[in-house]
Amino acid sequence: MSPERHLAPAGTPLSLAPGAAARPEPAEPAVIRRAAEALRQGALVAFPTETVYGLGADATNGAAVARVFAAKGRPRFNPLIVHVEGTSGARDLALWDTRAERLAEAFWPGPLSLVLPLRADAPVASLATAGLDTVALRCPDHPVALDLLREAACPLAAPSANPSGRVSPTRASHVAEALARECAVILDAGPCRVGLESTVLDLSGDQPALLRPGGVTQAALESILGPVVGRPDVTTGPARAPGQLASHYAPSRPVRLDAKEPTEQAGEALLRFGPEAPAGYDPIYDLSARGDLEEAAARLFDGLRALDRPGVAGIAVMPIPEIGLGVAMNDRLRRAAAPVEGDGDG
């Protein structure tokens, strides 16, 4: 069924139809209340989290969730993360176990999504989980996201608020550039603190499996759980879960990794990490002049967007150490550099 068939009845005060462009609004209490009301009516709301901005819909409303897929151009086989305001909300939706409990104690609210068996009586729309018998749950560490969840009083299915395959938004203005017409409200709370999406950990089997590196490192997970199985390199190995195709997070210009030498190409821009830079690149965007991985992670998507502009032939990226948040940064950068082969994670 096409999502356009699910528009709200005539006379609704909210514009659910594409056409009226939302502008970012400061996330004040009255605006959050209006956004929650829009969600309850089945509209989409962009909201800040500590990782990236999400494009939220009431996860229990199939028509609303269908609008998310349509807005992003996201393939329907790729399930969405469902956001909850705490562990009691999570228990209503998934079969919760002691591993989940220990991880939630350590990392929730925070950048960790847990894939768990879906409860048979969970009121989640099957489109949100792409029909799987598991659900990815996350409790975001952001006061606006938590207020919105409480006010809306429903779980929120929310992928990153970008067109599928493109760079995730870390500012409200990034959302407005691409999805203003799809959102009833865009809540603006400034740049996201972490800047990379959540870690996705699969707890649906006996062995915890890392499906996506993110804001919580594998070492941090292992300090709680013991060994966690990694997943094959996205650019070479087979996909272990929906939404792990190689090309994703892609600017429209070519991305070249591991730039250490002076450039041989006029007009090549540089994402710099650390104080030194090889010669000849222009413009240069500093991820972190002091070589700090947290600072660099928070600026990565903003940098890819800032350099993806007319007059730039390609984006070269200096090496990022494969430690801590660098693992998630390199994962996103490899996908940004991979040739486009279809719809990516989104």
Is residue 93 close enough to count as binding ligand TXA by CB under 6 A? no
Is residue 113 close enough to count as binding ligand TXA by CB under 6 A? yes
Is residue 81 close enough to count as binding ligand TXA by CB under 6 A? yes
Report whether 215 contacts 236 (CB < 8 A): no
Q: Residue 211 Cβ, how far from ligand TXA at the closest point, in Å? A: 5
Q: Residue 159 Cβ, how far from Mg ion at the closest point, in Å? A: 5
Q: Indicate which of ligand TXA, Mg ion, none lies near residue 198 (CB less than 5 to 8 Å, by partner kind).
A: ligand TXA
Q: Residue 41: CB partners within 8 Å, gap ≥ 6? A: 8, 12, 14, 16
Stretch that binds ligand TXA, among 85-93, 128-136, 177-185, 313-321 (CB under 6 A): 128-136
Enter the DSSP assignment of 3.
G
From the list 204, 194, 77, 220, the residue with the least C-alpha distance to 137 is 204
CB nearer to Mg ion: give 78 or 288. 78
Scan for tokens 């970012």, then name that residue: 24
The C-alpha atoms of residue 80 and residue 90 are separated, in whole angstroms, by 15
The distance in angstroms from the start CA to the end CA of the chain is: 21
- From candidates 34, 142, 166, 212, binder to ligand TXA by CB under 6 A: 212
* Cα of 124 vs its chain's centroid, Å: 20
* Paired sense of beta strands 209-212 and 268-273, if any: unpaired
Site residues (CB under 5 A) for Mg ion?
160, 346
What are phi and psi for residue 45, nearest 5 degrees? -130, 130
Is residue 247 close enough to count as binding ligand TXA by CB under 6 A? no
Q: Residue 39 Cβ, how far from Mg ion at the closest point, in Å? A: 19
Enter the DSSP assignment of 167.
P
Report whether 8 contacts 14 (CB < 8 A): yes
CB nearer to Mg ion: give 145 or 270. 145
The C-alpha atoms of residue 230 and residue 244 are separated, in whole angstroms, by 13
Is residue 217 close enough to count as binding ligand TXA by CB under 6 A? no
From the list 192, 205, 177, 232, the residue with the least C-alpha distance to 54 is 192
- From candidates 8, 132, 180, 225, binder to ligand TXA by CB under 6 A: 132
* Cα of 319 vs its chain's centroid, Å: 23
- From candidates 48, 75, 79, 213, binder to ligand TXA by CB under 6 A: 79
The residues that bridge with 333 in the sheet, in sequence order, are: none
Report whether 340 contacts 247 (CB < 8 A): yes
Is residue 95 close enough to count as binding ligand TXA by CB under 6 A? no
Q: Residue 77 Cβ, how far from Mg ion at the closest point, in Å? A: 15
Is residue 188 close enough to count as binding ligand TXA by CB under 6 A? no
The interface with ligand TXA within residues 30-69 (CB under 6 A) comprises 49, 51-52, 54
Is residue 109 close enough to count as binding ligand TXA by CB under 6 A? no
CB nearer to ligand TXA: give 52 or 176. 52
Please report how the helices 326-337 and 293-307 are oriented relative to each other, as an axis angle in degrees rounded to 10: 20
Q: Convert residues 157-176 into a mask of x (bound to ligand TXA by CB under 6 A) and - (unbound).
A: -xxx----------------
- From candidates 27, 32, 57, 115, binder to ligand TXA by CB under 6 A: 115
CB nearer to ligand TXA: give 163 or 274. 163
Report whether 187 contacts 30 (CB < 8 A): no
Q: Residue 276 Cβ, how far from Mg ion at the closest point, in Å? A: 32
Q: Which residues bind ligand TXA (CB under 6 A)?
A: 49, 51-52, 54, 78-81, 111, 113, 115, 129, 132, 134-136, 138, 140, 158-160, 197-198, 200, 211-212, 241-243, 345-346
